[in-house]
Structure 1
């Protein structure tokens, strides 16, 4: 997730709340009056604002007083933001240190013409009349409030309906879509697709999720046998339904798969499994997609949703390995995507080509299954222990705050602040991991900490790879149980293994290629065509404003959306995507 470093936290005081209350009142007065000079005076020389739909109906970062004030003044006449106040029943204002800066951090609430919202403000502790960071976040649309908690439905439509349809009857009819078209077609029933579908349902938008696998949750069940999450459970809850409090800190894949199946049932999500999205074309004249899908029985149907959401991850098909002599190798070749478990390779020789997360995990699984395994490193990587990585992963989620407050605070950082925070955190991580890193370098592992010292988090953001969080493979490399080879010392593959430049042959019965996946743009090109792929451009990676390219927000192709990333991305950003789609379905925005 996108977090800023925090060194310490002081409990909130009356003075903190007073400073925030005064600032919010002055902000609202200047905003209502359209007073640019007074607005500007409320911000520090260095200042940042990230808007999540509340003002701009988009995910919009701004840096510097002029950019912030100009945007606020431009949208306020339409938005009519008002009633700014310190949020009740939320984490109270408190003094913290973020990215090395002492601030008073507060959650506030307000409303606009169309919705209700919350935000985060960070006032400089040394100048509490000046805001360093502002984040504004749309919570709900007026008149489209979610029927949850005190607004939950009574269930009278199907409760004790003697002689009529019960809940199961209605759910079966609803899922069939025999008498209607879905407003939204979601591709992929993983955490992202299910989260978007659950939120859209609560907002009254009819959505259908399709997934090519046989059961909901198979996207996790069918991955390699030993897989578990590398960050802790507190970060990974799903929207509306947190994991049970007894569940382990690091969740194994099969627990996740089973939970997703339960989640889809409990959240009443319409899912067609065993269903492939074959192709789609957008009809500009009528404003909907012609989306061809193929069911498990071979039957086909063309659906006409107004929105298509790709929630199938941020990568496509496995990328085929390219290496000299690969065609001459007589052993078995598997991509990590097709690897399950290593027991049948006990006592045999294995090579793993690629030293990212999957390469490390599979090398560890092979080693602990009794295989003689060596990892072939193709380029330098970032390595961190799971504990050290928690400085970034779970920062706010370890502060004892409610999950909704953690999510709000975690989404407050603009790109320049993320870079600054990650640089600081990497230095701390290197100190924590100094023995681990020294041991790896002694074995010949080539390490880096990102092009600008921002470590694995910014590598994830920029290119979705190039790092490993140690779950034990690094220790096995250090003690020699997993061998380490460098690709630059490799000559070519031969029938019985890898011929090295010094003339020795590294014997292998199995070669696992940890060579990654095609990018999502290639998936779009294959299914939606060259024109749309070109119009949309890169998916994931950095956009010009530092946000993730084409993720969670409108794309250049009307009615086309993308969501991906980890569980926290799915939980947080499914909310904003669902709000944007709902606003369009309600005719509130174009």
Structure 2
């Protein structure tokens, strides 16, 4: 049953091989194990989990036991963690899921690995939670936990007004009754924060900021969202003309408000921008557009920020929020390299973030070089080709390629798909395994996807395109969560490469410099060009923090993204290292999922339950 580490990366693991044991009743196995766990947790002073966990087991916790995201590996570490946390967390009243897909069942996960899995529910000293257990048999046939997940879902002192708890909505039922004004009169005062200071200032009105604002307001935490753009949704509208989301609709819902049933599977950028604008209005979010930060200082003694905002009408406003949530995009500042001789180049050079649409110029016969082979590089190359340009992609290192037609849907099969389980349950299951285990499972999924997409991958290889499946073959999951890039979700460009319509030059040394009309490559070759697009990626969010808030704040913040020593994402969605400062970002689905956990952390700080910093 050992889970062994391989190579120099502590997060590349081998999944265990389970003995062939056919469980007679998954329900009984799961219930007996969960009852035994509850018995042990009821006496933390004499806690002994040896009979419940394999030596190489895992436990992932989101706020139920500690006010942070934690991953524990090995029974000894789990024992120590529970012994330290359970006295104050007081997990109790465990109950198995008894309906739907995630009640106790036997799953064949991959070859030679089977487990009994189930969702379960519990209470804590401060609220209620949901978890997942995955049990595998030991050599003697005893079922023990390979992985356990616990997550705080609601605070008892701050239950959200959902369903039967929804607000009445009548003027008489609002605080102060009619004397306080009608709904619209209250909204107008609230949006401008005429009578109060916002507890939380959210910087950025994209998917991160909007999800964050909706979650905070549902918990009763006042929130102001500011953004430099003219309209909500412009962060998508202002991107290149042909952009469409690469994740399917069922995966990309926003918090509380899923897309309609007739929503397209992949959303055009302008349609998504309009949805964001409608979402902000429907969720009654307080958004100030055309607003930027002039200065922000943290008052240590008062435990609050002093932020000076410049508004679109030329006025300034000083606010004093206790929390600042940085939602400017998981990628920070554009990474723009410069090269010898570039100033002499007679053509056009720009970063991919500045691309709008090739149709704005007559590109027929023009030579375009796109430097970089991630999502943006492919989309820009395809856009130029479709407008008559002679396009070459310059590739330094390999890229993982998966198609939107097949591979993307294979990844979501059984969870976020049409006719699948409720989104809330899928979100719990989807995040319930520690990242090292998820990445190990993704190795097997990546192999299946590669078999299904063999013709595409073989065609790319023949065209000279270098593929990279990751150091462990983990594919898109490892590329995204460790690098934040290095992959392409194919929506048409791969066929153009395979057919020779877009050329690829693989040159690990990259660019040595420019002449007036050419790129000089490290291998000694030259490449004529009229337009060079640097699709060279972005630095982390911390670079934007440093640029806007200065070194004093940035130096106290942790790095953000990539996996830390435990296997959790650094900095993101959790204490950042700086009091009252939080990073928040990711794709639409991650913003929906983790906005709940970050909102709970902020509410816990405001309720005196958590210090808001790592202990």
Given the two structures, how large is their TM-score scaled by the length of structure 2? 0.89
- Partner of 2:333, secondary structure, is strand
Query: Match of 2:18?
Result: none
The structure 2 residue matched to 1:134, chosen from 148, 165, 173, is 148
Tell me if the contact between 2:47 and 2:83 (Cα under 8 Å) persists in the aligned partners.
no
Structure 1 residue aligned with 2:28 = 18
Alignment equivalent of 1:478, drawn from 494, 498, 503: 498
- The runs of at least 4 consecutive aligned structure 1 residues that moved more than 6 Å come to 158-164, 501-504
- In the alignment, the residues of structure 1 paired with residue 104 and residue 321 of structure 2 have an alpha-carbon distance, to the nearest angstrom, of 44
> What is aligned with 1:8?
none
2:292 is aligned with 1:276: yes
How far off its partner does 1:359 sit? 0.6
Are 2:414 and 2:420, in contact at CA under 8 Å, matched by a contact in 1? Answer: no
What is the CA–CA distance in structure 2 between the aligned matches of 1:502 and 1:145, rounded to whole Å? Answer: 63
Work out the CA distance in 2 between the residues paired with 1:490 and 1:552: 37
Distance 1:324-1:484 versus aligned 2 partners, 3 A rule: farther
1:69 aligned residue: 79
Note the C-alpha offset of 1:305. 0.7
Alpha-carbon deviations, 1:540-581, whole Å to 9, x = none? 112121111101111211111011111111011000000010
RMSD: 2.4
Q: Which has the higher contact order (CA 8 A, sep 6+)?
A: 1
Partner residue of 2:564?
543
Query: Does structure 1 conserve the Cα–Cα contact (< 8 Å) formed by 2:171 and 2:178?
Result: no
Instruction: State the Cα distance separating 1:40 from its structure 2 match.
Output: 2.2
1:574 aligns with 2:574: no
How many corresponding residue pairs? 580
Shift of 1:179: 2.3
The correspondence of residues 235-250 of structure 1 with structure 2, limited to 5 A, is 235-250=251-266
Residue 14 and residue 141 in structure 1: after superposition, are their counterparts in 2 closer, same or farther (change >3 A)?
farther
In 2, Cα distance between the equivalents of 1:503 and 1:449? 28
How far did residue 532 of structure 1 move?
A: 2.6
Q: 1:454 aligns to what?
A: 474
Aligned to 2:373: 355
Q: Which moved further from structure 2: 290-299 or 102-111?
A: 290-299
- The 1:88/1:583 distance shift into structure 2, 3 A limit, reads farther
The 8 Å contact of residues 31 and 39 in structure 1, kept in 2 or not, is answered as no
Q: CA–CA distance in 2 between the matches of 1:324 and 1:401? A: 55
Contact 1:48-1:132 within 8 A present in 2 as well: yes
Q: Does 1:364 align with 2:382?
A: yes
Segments of 5+ residues of structure 1 without an aligned counterpart are 6-12
Measure the CA separation in 2 of the matches of 1:242 and 1:448.
Answer: 35
Work out whether residues 180 and 186 of structure 2, in 8 Å CA contact, stay in contact via their aligned partners in 1.
Answer: no
> Which deviates the most, 330-339 or 207-216?
330-339
| 1:269-348 matched pairs, under 5 angstroms | 269-343=285-359, 344-347=361-364, 348=366
SS in 2 for 1:174: helix
Mapping of 1:75-224 within 5 angstroms?
Answer: 75-89=85-99, 91-98=102-109, 100=111, 101-124=113-136, 127=141, 129-157=143-171, 165-224=181-240
Q: 1:318 to 1:500 in 2, by over 3 A?
A: closer
Pick one of 244, 248, 267 that aligns with 2:283. 267
Q: Please give the secondary structure, in 2, of the residue aligned with 1:84.
A: strand
Q: Please, which runs of 5 or more residues in structure 2 have no aligned partner?
A: 1-13, 16-22
C-alpha change, 1:23 and 1:163, in structure 2 (3 Å) is closer
Q: Kindly state the Cα deviation for residue 524 of structure 1 after the two structures are TM-superposed.
A: 1.6
Which residue matches 2:546? 525
Q: CA deviation at 1:467?
A: 1.4
Q: Equivalents in 2 of 1:185, 1:501: separation in Å?
A: 47
**In structure 2, distance between residues paired with 1:34 and 1:162:** 52
